[in-house]
Chain A
């Protein structure tokens, strides 16, 4: 199985800060990498697919980069509604696997 490792596990940020979350795959997954946002009690939301493609309706302050084993999700200017947990997920091979999550908290 492909292991996905995110860093950091949590971070504190102020509104307006630039935030970057890293995701590393245990083997090359090309660009088969998706990012999700999850808030407590809510349905997870797809933000980025194929490493860098913005899902319809997602604000342009979210961006994704990377290929192979190393990927990043960047929030260019964090807004109040962005405080949540973020997960990467590989779709290169079954079983699909998620990173352990990065909790973005208000400083």
Chain B
């Protein structure tokens, strides 16, 4: 059974940094691309960042480019999102999502999310 479990969320002040993690099990982690998707309070889903299975390819939304860094540790089946220079509009539930094995990308499994609150 595929399981994704996010952790590391919390309350931080504007300008501070935070790293959230996603532990994966139930599939060959290194064989799949992974993404982070967030949902701000009262808003819809927003794709944030993606990384290829081997970690060599990374992609970012313009809203976080230059501030966030996605990475993965395939030996420990863990996905990370390092968030620097956090702003109030980064407040959201952050979900990790597994990409499907199909030619066309879809997110076939998601975690329950971890809440990041940026406030003074």
Residues of A in contact with B (beta carbons under 8 Å apart): 1, 31-32, 34, 36, 38, 41-46, 49-50, 55, 85, 87, 89, 91, 94-101
Residues of B11-39 whose CB lies within 8 A of A: 35, 37
30 CB contacts below 8 A, A to B, read: A1-B62, A36-B107, A38-B45, A43-B109, A44-B37, A44-B95, A44-B107, A46-B100, A46-B107, A46-B108, A49-B104, A50-B106, A55-B108, A85-B44, A87-B45, A89-B45, A89-B107, A91-B104, A94-B59, A95-B47, A95-B59, A95-B60, A96-B35, A96-B50, A96-B105, A97-B47, A98-B44, A98-B47, A101-B44, A101-B45
- Across the interface, A49 reaches (CB within 8 A) one of B45, B102, B109, B112, namely B102
| A-B pair number, CB within 8 angstroms | 69
* Main DSSP-derived SS at the A contact region: loop
Q: How far is the CA of A34 from the CA of B45 in the complex (A)?
A: 13
Q: How far is the CA of A94 from the CA of B50 in the complex (A)?
A: 10
